[in-house]
Structure 1
Amino acid sequence: MVKQPESTYSRLGGMQFIEGWFSFLWWISGQWFLLSAQIDANRIFAAVAYVVVLIVIGLPLWWKTTEVYRVSLPYSRIAALDNLDVTQGMNISISTLDTARGDKLVADLNDIFKTSKWFQLTFFALSLEKKYLASVHSLEDLENAPFQPRKVGELLLLEVPGLARFTANHVLVGLKRTVYFSSETTAVKLSEVLESWLLQEKSLRQTVAAMTAPTETDQDQSGRRRMPAAEEYDIMITVVNPEPEKLQLNWDLPKAVQVYLEPLLHELSPVARYTVKSQWLYFVTLNVQPKLVADSSGYGRKHYALAEDILPQIITPLEKKLASHVSRNPCLNFVVYVPPCEAAPLHIYRRQGVRVKGGVDAFLSPRWGGIVIHNPSSLICHNTSVQPKEYSPDTVAVMGVFLAQFRLLMGIPELEEISRADRLPLSVVSLGDWELDSLLRVRTMEQLTSARLTLQSLSQLLSEISNIVINDAVGDSVYRAVDCVERAAKLLKIGQLDRAFNDSKEAFLSAEAAFTDPSLLALLYFPDDQKYAVYIPLFLPVMIPVILSLKNIYAWFSGRINSKSKLKED
């Protein structure tokens, strides 16, 4: 049966029990002392009884009834996590028709990446039969070829003679785990694509550094936007219609979520679980006053403009009405605001006085979500014969922006441009296999770092405050977190990315569960000095005469021994 930590009331009850027990023993001993007051031997034996009751029985009993239940924790293993090797192993095969060229690329790439502190890359040449490339007539044929690597975390660099038939670039990143390159491509160009796009070593380094020393290092732009690691996320889609009596929206939002959002959520299911919610808000405004400006077309048209500087002022009052805090899970908010015809069209302007790029006015708030301003068409607004007006939002435009914002919030960054390098265009709802691998690497490092820091903070707290209860649940969570961190680091080193991610996720959740366990706060308000302040006034008046009587006991027994010795000598 598991021993439960004692509450303050149970400890005070134990103190009252001990006080009553000692009072009873004190009365019994006092009666014995009175009866034997005339006999020196009985008086000494009464003093001995006091010593036995208070010191031999009382002190151990008091110590046992007031001790705090604490499970032993692996403090040495937690301290050793600072020196844990989290190098990520990765197998990259290079396939060329010319064996000598393949060996040369392998040697050059091994030399380029030998100084990497985050990756332990293993390049090796892979023979590929000509018949596989002979039947290739389009990029789709390459993507559907049987030589595509399937294991999570692996890559294939495939030389495609005549790649210029399909693209003007020398390097083309596929949708799966294959990078196609022409015969003119050098190892330097391949390493640039690998490091900047597929491995994202700089983002990994900045993420870990920002978590370890947040006041000294800044995260990259992708890290600042990315939602914190969690087991499950809530996605709240909100449609804001400030004047429903004048403009009615005809939009099948559940179908839009099913067609556009659910396929991407299914591909991201290895990372976390997602719960999609939606709501409609009426008679809600943006609480900002846009400016009426002239259109640049020169035809005397005017429209309303929102400056980029005042966009944060929109989120704060709007968030109070989104009902996004009804769950413990982190929430990603996606808001589509349809302005009334009297305030349309409404556009967003940057600080330079130019409109945002693209045909949709939208902005992203890091670690919160995004807002899309979707203006009703001028044809509907100018039609005064129909009241109220009906408008069907452009599902493709709105959901396309939401998906792009969702990718950024989950940690799939926008890639920097590299000369003579490109990637196959993704559909609106798809995710590249190599993008998922990159996200798993970042999340694995983030979760391992968070678990390590949480365990070390908890270890320091529990070692400094000795009266905090450590129950079996907290101990099991700590041991499980340490085991998962160590196992995930080993799996990363041998290239088992998917299993390493699962262990890092388990380590992160277990460390958070241990650190936030409610039992850790049960006795923080009953420190040792308060305990001694309660017991010392109770025991000190009793202990003083007992301690002083030890001298008389010693003298009496010494005298008896000396007298017996003299009798034997005589």
Structure 2
Amino acid sequence: MAPAATEEKSRGKYCASCITVVVILVGLPLWWRTTETYRASLPYAQISELDFLLLDISVLVEVVFARGTLTAEQQKKLLPQTQFSQKENRLNDKTGFKYRYEKTYRAATGIEQDAIMGENVEEAVVTLPRVYESSAGSVVIYVVPADTQLLPQEVTVYIGKHRAAFLRSPVTRSHSAEDVLRDVDDSIEEILQAMSFTDDMVVAALSSRVPSGTFGTDTFTGSMTAFKSSLGYEITFSLLNPDPKSHDVCWDIERAVNNYVQPFLDKLSFIANFSVDSQILYYAVLGVTPRFDKTSSSFSLNEDSLPHVINPVEAKLGSSVASSYPVLNFLLYVPEYSHSPLYIRDSNGSPVETNAFHSSRWGGIMIYNVDHERLNETLHPISVKVDMARVMEVFLAQLRLLLGIQKVQPPPESIVQSPGNMIVTDWEIDRLLWVRTVENIATATNTLTSLAQLLDEIGNIVINDNIASEVYSAVASVQRSLQELETGRLLPAFQASQEAITSSERAFFDPSLLHLLYFPDDQKFAIYIPLFLPMCVPIVLSLLKTGKEFKWRRKVD
């Protein structure tokens, strides 16, 4: 073979080898790198730990003994000291909670003693918060002498509207130090069940992590009434006038909201964002035909028919603001002339005092009857001016229930002070914060666990840096909230839980996580093989030919 031909053949083999090396060492890695799905790192190990949620909750309790409640010997042995009482509740293999009361026993200071020795307990309730600074979630219990004039004679416990309660001392001079603590602690446990959270409240808040049917329905009765924790709520007041020919209804809803509802919402403004609007709907009738009662010459709606009232009315309702927040509906219904007066009756057939009812996680409806004596005197509609004080009293009570502020079961022989101008007591807000914090933690951990599982199963979803940042932020906020709960700092724990649920939902509902936006690996190969195959065929054939020649030379040699 001529030298030129041999040199040309060698050059061809060298080029094929170089192209092959470049394709394998540069082309394939470059192609793989430029077509792979970008996935920022996530804290999978920490999320896996959060899947096993065991809450550790501390409640700070101060027990203050007034002068005259302990003998000198009892006071010397007992004060000051700190004790812990702990309880644990495991709901399933992955969820549970334990809580402890950190009780500090001390004697009353001089200023506290002056307030306690008075004869007006309401004045003491106002004076004492100026003396001590109570943090959210904490409770102060003042043990007063058995013969005190501060409490009514038949009252053993008085729960104030702040974070303080008064307990008539069950201690006698013959009690030992151990008997004193035991008798006082028994009464304190009952007070704390009213002023702080209960087992059922925490179990209900963790219901999203517990399979349905695990606990009895009584445990979740209160939680099913209230809306789930949310960053905001829309409140809509609607006036339903099905018979405008007979009724010209006027309601001063703006002034009523400013006077009754807004002060209540202002107290809860740090828990969620609230927006309020109102509307008037004409010719909107109930979906159920009332039954006429001859004995009372009135119409009635039975308790069994109330669920059927909501659906037809709800179809006519609307919100002026487009939002993802839950909507709380409050309807004032003025019955049409042909169905007046209209009363709601309970299961026993007795009229409901408020003539109103509420539906769990939806809202409430109140029926407002009109006096029709003047209807025959004129052809014009009756001018009806709604008594907004009576209406708002009912709606405000329903609003409290729907937001999770439930009535407490006070201890025997006790009085619970009305919040008065405060609208809602400090310890009622604390009870709501306990529930919302636990509920936020449970929701955030569920969201993070679901997100981690989703991203682990579907490998072609892009994980952007901002999503990873939100996930890291959510995990850190959950951990911080758990730490704050453990130290008894309720307000920081709640704020951290809100940050956790915000970050976790931002990450979970990020539009870029739609896996259909990206090609799976099988589709990626299907797209690129028609491009690479024609290029690879001559390279592979030349390599095969070079290999055969190499083997032939080895045999010849």
Q: TM-score, normalised by structure 2?
A: 0.86
Specify the code of the residue in structure 2 equivalent to 1:243.
D
1:361-510 → structure 2 map (5 Å cutoff): 361-377=355-371, 379=373, 384-385=377-378, 387-416=380-409, 418-427=411-420, 430-510=423-503
Aligned position for 2:175: none
% identical aligned pairs: 34
Aligned residues between the structures: 522
Q: Secondary structure at the match of 1:422?
A: strand
List per-residue Cα deviations over 1:36-77 (Å, max 9, x = no partner).
899431331242144135323331232122111211111111
Q: For 1:429 and 1:294, locate their aligned partners in 2 and report how far apart those are by CA, in whole Å.
A: 45
Tell me how far 1:470 sits from its aligned partner. 1.0
Q: 1:352 aligns with which of 340, 348, 354?
A: 348
Tell me how far 1:210 sits from its aligned partner. 4.2
List per-residue Cα deviations over 1:132-161 (Å, max 9, x = no partner).
246522122111123354321211011233
Tell me how far 1:534 sits from its aligned partner. 2.6
CA contact (8 A) 2:363 2:402 kept: yes
CA contact (8 A) 2:292 2:300 kept: yes
Q: For 1:186 and 1:400, locate their aligned partners in 2 and report how far apart those are by CA, in whole Å.
A: 38
Q: For 2:347 and 2:379, locate their aligned partners in 1 and report how far apart those are by CA, in whole Å.
A: 39
Q: For 1:239 and 1:119, locate their aligned partners in 2 and report how far apart those are by CA, in whole Å.
A: 46
Q: For 1:330 and 1:516, locate their aligned partners in 2 and report how far apart those are by CA, in whole Å.
A: 17
1:6-21 → structure 2 map (5 Å cutoff): none
Gaps of 5+ in 1: 1-34, 296-300
Q: For 1:128 and 1:431, locate their aligned partners in 2 and report how far apart those are by CA, in whole Å.
A: 27
Q: Does 1:120 align with 2:103?
A: no
Residues 1:466 and 1:342: Cα distance change in structure 2 (over 3 Å): same
Aligned position for 1:6: none
Using the TM superposition, name which of 253-262 and 162-171 deviates more: 162-171
Residues 1:388 and 1:106: Cα distance change in structure 2 (over 3 Å): farther
- RMSD across aligned positions (CA): 3.0
1:64-213 → structure 2 map (5 Å cutoff): 64-83=33-52, 85-97=54-66, 98-99=69-70, 110=83, 113=86, 117-129=97-109, 131-133=113-115, 136-146=118-128, 147-161=131-145, 162=148, 165-166=151-152, 168-184=154-170, 186-213=184-211
CA contact (8 A) 1:454 1:511 kept: yes
Decide which structure has greater strand share: 2
1:275-354 → structure 2 map (5 Å cutoff): 275-295=275-295, 301-324=296-319, 326-354=322-350
Aligned position for 1:230: 230
Q: Secondary structure at the match of 1:532?
A: helix
Tell me how far 1:96 sits from its aligned partner. 1.2
Q: For 2:373 and 2:201, locate their aligned partners in 1 and report how far apart those are by CA, in whole Å.
A: 47
CA contact (8 A) 2:240 2:334 kept: yes
Q: Does 1:54 align with 2:38?
A: no
Tell me how far 1:508 sits from its aligned partner. 0.4
Q: For 2:324 and 2:239, locate their aligned partners in 1 and report how far apart those are by CA, in whole Å.
A: 23
CA contact (8 A) 1:260 1:428 kept: no
Specify the code of the residue in structure 1 equivalent to 2:299.
Y
Gaps of 5+ in 2: 90-96, 171-182
Q: For 1:191 and 1:331, locate their aligned partners in 2 and report how far apart those are by CA, in whole Å.
A: 37
Specify the code of the residue in structure 1 equivalent to 2:205.
T
Residues 1:110 and 1:348: Cα distance change in structure 2 (over 3 Å): farther
CA contact (8 A) 1:304 1:345 kept: yes
Q: Secondary structure at the match of 1:536?
A: helix
Using the TM superposition, name which of 479-488 and 523-532 deviates more: 523-532
Tell me how far 1:106 sits from its aligned partner. 9.3
Q: For 2:283 and 2:385, locate their aligned partners in 1 and report how far apart those are by CA, in whole Å.
A: 19
